[in-house]
Amino acid sequence: MDYTKEYLKYKRNKKIKGIFIGIGILLIAIIGSTYAFFTYSKSLQAFTLTSSGITASFGGGTNQINITNGYPISDEFALQNLNQLDYIDFTISGNVEDEDQGLTYEIYLTEKDSNTLDPNYIKIYLTDENGQMIKTPKVYNYLDNTSYSRDASLGKLIYNENGVSGNYTKSFRIYAWIDKDYEQNEVSQEFSFYVNLYAYNDENKEGSILIQNKIAQLKKENPSCNYVVEDYDTNDELEATYLSGPAPGKGDCAIDFNYVWWSGKMWRITAIYPDGAMKMVTDNNITTISYNPRDNLTYYDKQTGAKSYVFQWLNEDFLDTLYYQGENVIDKTKYWNFALTEFDGYYNNNKLPVSDETTVITSISPVGLLNSYEYYKSYQNTTLEIGYLNIGYYSMLIDTENYYNDSVHVRVALFGNVYIIGNDNTPMGIRPSVFLKPQITFYGNGTKQNPYRLTYDYDTATINYDLINTRHSGEYVKLSKNGTEELFRIVDVEDNKTKIVSVNYADNGIKNKFGTAMPGNSLWGGGTTTGEGTWYTYLNNVYLPNLIETYGNIFDSSIYFFGVSGINYKLSICASATTDTTKQCEKNLMNGIFKVGLLRYGEMFATQQGSGSGTSIAMWLMSRNTYANTWMVDETGFGNIVDYNYFATTERVARPTLHLKPSVKILSGSGTELDPYIVG
């Protein structure tokens, strides 16, 4: 073959737009207490990931390899003309002193969902920095699957090495091209993929082992501290080692090593079971709803199959927001005990709920709540006021109490005390809880600043090039308004538009009325109900223009639904209280199509999101309880019903919601509170 002729043809082809290659490395590590997890800093050109034991660095490009309309070439031509192809160098280095703690790592590739070029025609070639071949040219689709445990089909292995220890340095160079057998056409084609490094310490990659090692290390540093309470003499479903102690900053021996960031929410590990399974609960309330109708406080009726509002919200609405919630993460064999509880006092409960086969459930409830016994265990080594699960808001527990010869509900109050209240359906905070499967793997160090991450979490390797509507509920987005940065959280994706809600109250706690007085109708956004001094008018005429001035036209109008709900949160998106399932509910009452609104009753994050009632103010929701009343959440986390005279004359704060257009992209960030997405 005349390679000179082929090369000249390659150079002068008018269709070619070139091969633009960039490379990025997301270092995902599961390592023991010997090594700190990676931190990273990013720029538009490159980013570097480091730890106390390992460094991975590269430069000269973005964090992807992108081939757009490249001319097909043969392997022979490519290998003889590598100097004509773009490449990126990257280096992995480390200093692992203990050879028994040797590191294993894999370099693997993940492709972009929007690719139009067939991966069966993409060739990958890996060398060292001097051009010596490490991997022969191979079709992307023919690469082996990675052993990365989340889902092997999502990663293509390009290189791996086991037992790395001592002073270690290895450099790589990667190339990609379109295979000669590909037939070009007039349609623009593109193929992008990402290069990732998965690194872990074989000995300590299981989450339960990581936490147990952390506890052992902390006890060694401070022998007087006791971070756990073992309980192996009760019912089988509750045998566990419970983490117990004060919240960070509220005393010695603080429980500050059990944070988990998963599915856009911060969680706290509360218990470790003998088989390695773990229980965790969200670090804050996620919504505010009623437990069930008055005089019916059963979580789930096994005889009739009747499900409480809490059961439905947890296992339908909330469950849908979790990544890989199926067989990969959630252990559905563990028991949720919602039996009657016997109290030994108003503040403390140290007796196990008495369960039988009618008051424990397993697989039909992947998500539940903590019960009063488990909550008590969390502060058994300290006081209830400073226990690490006390968040300073009212929240529900799963069990009930037979103190009044009639089932009453068990709740957590502002000071962390567990208490009972009779026959009451008042909405309050919900903190979902799940059991993690045994042998689930973590990386990170468990602090709030660097929480554990599940290896079954959504792949963060591609986030800088994803559209924002590919992300999930709970992740953070940062916007700036008049030079002031403002945090939002993703609520949901509706019609490909990303709904976000402000973490803080609008404009530093400014207050407005909900709407004007209209007897018999508390409709938001309905023309005459949107007079001066109302939240509708302020948000759409004052608040929004300030955002548009900075970001341009990235916000989109959307339909806001706020049907009459009563205490059934599902009906807040219905025209009338005639159905009781979200799936059947027709969204046929268009109360308003506009850009800025408020959250509905029972929606994700429709609750207080501060650091306790002392930091919060009563705030409006936009749902109606009846045609003449609307909902708000007070500063303690309770849901309250207010009538049209009240909302027409009383000013309260609000947390605005907006919809980002389907075309809005993520420019940087990882979606956490400390590293929110930057969009544009």
Full DSSP string of 494-528? ETTEEEEEESS-GGGT--BBS----TT---SSSST
- Between CA 226 and CA 577 the distance in angstroms is 52
Cross-strand partners of 232: none
Poorest-confidence range of 75-79, 271-275, 526-530?
A: 526-530
Cβ proximity of 307 and 313 under 8 Å = no
Backbone angles phi, psi at 337, to 5 degrees: -100, 105
Total length of the chain: 680
The pLDDT value recorded for residue 57 is 67
- Between CA 48 and CA 379 the distance in angstroms is 40
Going from the C-alpha of 519 to that of each of 470, 497, 537, the distances in angstroms are 42, 34, 20
Whose CA is closest to 389, among 402, 373, 403, 405? 373
> Helix, strand, coil % (nearest 5) of the chain?
15, 35, 50
The pLDDT value recorded for residue 210 is 84
Cβ proximity of 295 and 404 under 8 Å = no
The pLDDT value recorded for residue 474 is 96
Most confident by average pLDDT, 62-76, 398-412, 492-506 = 492-506
The pLDDT value recorded for residue 52 is 42
The pLDDT value recorded for residue 603 is 94
The pLDDT value recorded for residue 574 is 55
User: Which amino acid appears at position 414 of this protein?
Assistant: L
Task: Name the band, by pLDDT with cuts 50, 70 and 90, for residue 505.
Answer: very high
What is the reported pTM? Answer: 0.73
Residue whose structure tokens are 């990958």: 124
- Between CA 51 and CA 34 the distance in angstroms is 11
520 Rama sector, left if φ>0, alpha if ψ -120 to 50, beta otherwise: left
- Between CA 216 and CA 315 the distance in angstroms is 35
Poorest-confidence range of 54-68, 388-402, 510-524?
A: 54-68
Cβ count near 295 (within 10 Å): 11
Most confident by average pLDDT, 210-224, 248-262, 587-601 = 248-262
The pLDDT value recorded for residue 21 is 28
Q: What average pLDDT score do residues 64-81 get? A: 85
User: Which amino acid appears at position 376 of this protein?
Assistant: Y
Backbone angles phi, psi at 17, to 5 degrees: -110, 0
Give the three-class secondary structure for 311.
helix
Cβ proximity of 249 and 259 under 8 Å = no
Q: What average pLDDT score do residues 55-73 get? A: 70
Helix (H), strand (E) counts: the chain: 8, 42
Tell me the percentage of the chain whose pLDDT exceeds 70: 74
pLDDT digits 0-9 by tens, 197-252: 666 654 446 888 889 888 988 998 899 999 999 886 655 555 889 999 999 999 89
Task: Name the band, by pLDDT with cuts 50, 70 and 90, for residue 558.
Answer: confident
Tell me the percentage of the chain whose pLDDT exceeds 90: 31
The pLDDT value recorded for residue 661 is 94
pLDDT digits 0-9 by tens, 92-143: 777 766 555 566 677 888 888 788 888 999 999 999 888 889 988 999 988 8
Cβ count near 576 (within 10 Å): 11
Cβ proximity of 139 and 123 under 8 Å = yes
The pLDDT value recorded for residue 521 is 55
pLDDT digits 0-9 by tens, 34-51: 222 232 233 323 333 333
Pairing of the two strands 103-111 and 88-96 = unpaired
Mean pLDDT of the chain: 77
**Which one is predicted more confidently, 517 or 538?**
538
* Cα distance from N-terminal residue to C-terminal residue, the chain: 48
Q: What average pLDDT score do residues 416-420 get? A: 78
Going from the C-alpha of 444 to that of each of 210, 448, 455, 479, 513, the distances in angstroms are 10, 10, 10, 27, 45
Contacts 24+ apart (CB under 8 A), 585-593: 587/559, 587/561, 589/561, 589/563, 590/559, 590/561, 591/523, 591/524, 591/525, 591/526, 591/560, 591/561, 591/562, 591/563, 592/524, 592/525, 592/526, 592/536, 592/559, 592/560, 593/557, 593/558, 593/559, 593/560
pLDDT at 64 over 80: no
Poorest-confidence range of 186-200, 433-447, 552-566, 621-635?
A: 186-200
**Which one is predicted more confidently, 523 or 642?**
642
- Between CA 148 and CA 154 the distance in angstroms is 9
pLDDT at 483 over 60: yes
Whose CA is closest to 268, among 242, 232, 288? 242
Pairing of the two strands 340-341 and 395-401 = parallel
pLDDT at 343 over 70: no
The pLDDT value recorded for residue 584 is 40
Q: H/E/C letters for each residue in 344-358?
A: CCCCCCCCCCCCCCC
